[in-house]
Chain A
Amino acid sequence: MPTLTVKVKRFDGKKSWWQEYKVDIKSRRISVLDVLVKIKEEQDPTLAVRYSCRMAICGSCGMVINGVPRLACQTLLTEIKDDTITVEPMWNHRVIRDLVVDTEPNFEKLRKVKPYIIRDLKEIYESDREIGQKPEELEKYYNFAYCIECGLCMAACPVVATNQRFLGPMALAAAYRWSADSRDQGWPVRAKIVDTDEGVWSCHLAYTCSAVCPRGVDPGFAIQLVKAALMRRAKKL
């Protein structure tokens, strides 16, 4: 098997530099995360990488791999034909160290769209009621519920890059997901939040968010569905 060259964009709080590592591999059926962990444990324990589940469901290891925002654990070497891999931290986020970025502003934007069922709180917490949901009602929002909050869509969005206040694809997709849930009564509240300059109207339809989403959520489409509902003054999604 070949020796890989891994070029990592590093940052120590003050300066930024590119560092090259050589890694011997036995098989290409391993992920970029496996390679980075191998570097960390065998060559350079100072390399900072955020990771946990290694099966593309926890959302920790978003980064830019060979120029594309991706999850490191979901990117297998079998998909990368070249023996050189370039890795940098996610764009549009403040870098904390090396490949670790501050994603907490994304979570604050998510909070703004009220990502939960809005209906009588006492009923939710004190009753034992089963609300029920038909399969076709589930289908309406299901695909948008797959969001793992990794931030890759925010890294890829050209509007987020220039407008810090834009709520962005992650939060706006959540606004659609919750409003389209048959159990929810919160659309009138959320409509006011997203029918703004910081909301859906700043989206320029680049669709880079949907292109990079590792779970196929299609936030770009969710934003267009929200726009359409606002245009026709829909009472319910």
Chain B
Amino acid sequence: MRRYETIFITHPDLTEEDLSVLHEKLRSIMSSLKGELIKLEDWGPKKLSYAIRKNTRGHYFLLDYLAATDLVRELERNLRLNDRVLKFQTVKISNQVSPEAAQALPAAGPDKKAINVIERSSPSPEPKREEAEPEAFGEEKKNESAS
């Protein structure tokens, strides 16, 4: 298993319903190909640094997961086919995640928590989320160095 993270940008005007349909789709792909979702972060609508398909704003999401290569391929294929997704990028975080570490990770940030992240973001305090994100990353790094 490898650990990846995918950032995808959706159209900014999507309704909650559209988004939940999309998330459900991604979750089902993930479970069908034996991936493990660590977290799904909602960064909210942000201004894009350059226009993508004539959109100056986009809704950012971050998927953090453990997967094999076939899952990444399938996930990206689906994102590519979806017109509501403006752009996506997958980055490999670590090459090898041992089974023990894999079990420890979802315990830290389980699926349920990921849902909360999305719910919390609906009032959209944008700067707050931006601050919270690097902190979370720092914690991850600490965990890695400790182990």
**Is B truly associated with A?**
no
Q: Which residues of A contact B (CB under 8 A)?
A: none
Spell out B's residues near A (CB within 8 Å).
none
